Amino acid sequence: MSAPHVDFLIVGQGLAGSILALNLQQRGKSVLVIDNDHSGCASQVAAGLINPVTGHRLNLTDNFEQYWPVANGFYQSLAKTTGRSVHRAVTQYRRIKHPGQVTYLDKRLQQAEYQSLLSKHSDSPFLASEPHSCIQVHQTSAVDTPTLLSQTKTILVDQGAYSVTKLNYHDLSVTSQGITVQGVQASTIIFCEGYQAIENPWLENLPFKLAKGEILDIEVSAPLPGMLSWGSWLLPSADNSASARLGSNYDWYDLSLTPTLEIAQKLLTSLQQHSGLQAKITAHQTGIRPTTRQRRPFIGAIRSLQNAYCFNGFGSKGCLTIPYYANLLCEHLTTGKPLPEELTEWL
Ligand SMILES: Cc1cc2nc3c(=O)[nH]c(=O)nc-3n(C[C@H](O)[C@H](O)[C@H](O)COP(=O)(O)OP(=O)(O)OC[C@H]3O[C@@H](n4cnc5c(N)ncnc54)[C@H](O)[C@@H]3O)c2cc1C
């Protein structure tokens, strides 16, 4: 009996593999997604924030206007399919940390592209003792990434298009029909392993600059008025209860998945300083972001392996950027439209 055949074998079911698989299916392609049970999966721990303005100079997130409509459209269409939205609007208060920031704010408020995103500074709903200490950042939202992964997995399992398997790279062979691996034949394989791509022999030269992040689930004493950001952030849970997520840090040296007490304490101290809130930790998670030196993803055909593609390098903003780049790759795969060179140059 011959091995089952699919158009695309997708390795990894984080945000990248999930969004790509659904997009390819919408275009009438058959897929099989394999994942090693979300081991070390950044998407499982991410806060899912989509933030249009970042940094102490209140800069517009790079290419926000390009990414946002595609991301928003994707999450809306997923909600129609599943009957449950994983994407919600968030009221964000940004703490003014020094007077210079008010100067940046005044400048930004005169620029057309910021007018729907920022409000004049206002009182903090967190620290009554500090009037005019917050800016409201509009169009902030958050994706419930673990639910997105479980919804996608359910859709794929129901279609027989999912397998809990770890890909062993040395089992892969190129055939006249494409790729054969672990009993499956595919015309094309697409690698979406997040940071674990560093183990992939065909991707070992990619200039990743991986960054570990730690994130806390906490309980505070009363329901929160919204999200607060100050370099770190406090994101209330979707049901407006007194539970929230608190994060996160960037560590480019310790890439173990072990949580550290020191980071948890730093986050709690900083929360207390910027909001006045005391919190109790209910969970502490870590993940490795697949960040890249050029701050651009790696997307396209892999030169050293026939019929193989890479879809990776989504760093710290996957919820905003992955739907946009999944569209680009799917168009390339289905219509031959070339990918921008800046995405393919390292492959
Ligand atoms: C603490 C933290 C907070 C974050 N907060 C945000 C945020 O607020 N907003 C935001 O947009 N982004 C955030 N991110 C970034 C976000 O997590 C990433 O952009 C995104 O999840 C990357 O998705 P991915 O699918 O590329 O990788 P991953 O999520 O790592 O998924 C890769 C998958 O591949 C599987 N896999 C790997 N190797 C194999 C193999 N050999 N065989 C089978 N399966 C394999 C893994 O098990 C995993 O399931 C955060 C990240 C961290 C760590």
Report whether 54 contacts 61 (CB < 8 A). Answer: yes
| DSSP 8-class letter at 238 | T
Residue 159: both structure tokens together: 């279609």
The finding on whether 78 has its CB within 6 A of some atom of ligand 1 is no
C-alpha–C-alpha distance, residues 319 and 346, integer Å = 23
The alpha carbon torsion through 77, 308, 257, 152 (nearest 10 deg) reads 20
**What atom of ligand 1 comes closest to residue 322's alpha carbon?**
19
Mean of the per-residue pLDDT values for the chain? 94
The finding on whether 313 has its CB within 6 A of some atom of ligand 1 is no
Residue 2: pLDDT above 70? no
**What atom of ligand 1 comes closest to residue 316's alpha carbon?**
15
The finding on whether 320 has its CB within 6 A of some atom of ligand 1 is yes
**Amino acid letter, 181:** V
Residue where the block lists tokens 């899912």: 48
Give the whole-number percent of the chain exceeding pLDDT 90. 84
Predicted pLDDT of residue 3: 63
Predicted pLDDT of residue 117: 94
Q: Whose CA is nearest to atom 53 of ligand 1?
A: 287
Residue 121: pLDDT above 90? no
Q: Which domains does the chain have, with CATH numbers?
A: 5-45+146-206+294-344 (3.50.50.60), 89-141+209-289 (3.30.9.10)
* Mean predicted confidence (pLDDT) in 14-21: 98
The finding on whether 182 has its CB within 6 A of some atom of ligand 1 is no
Residue 95: both structure tokens together: 């703490």
Residue 173: pLDDT above 80? yes
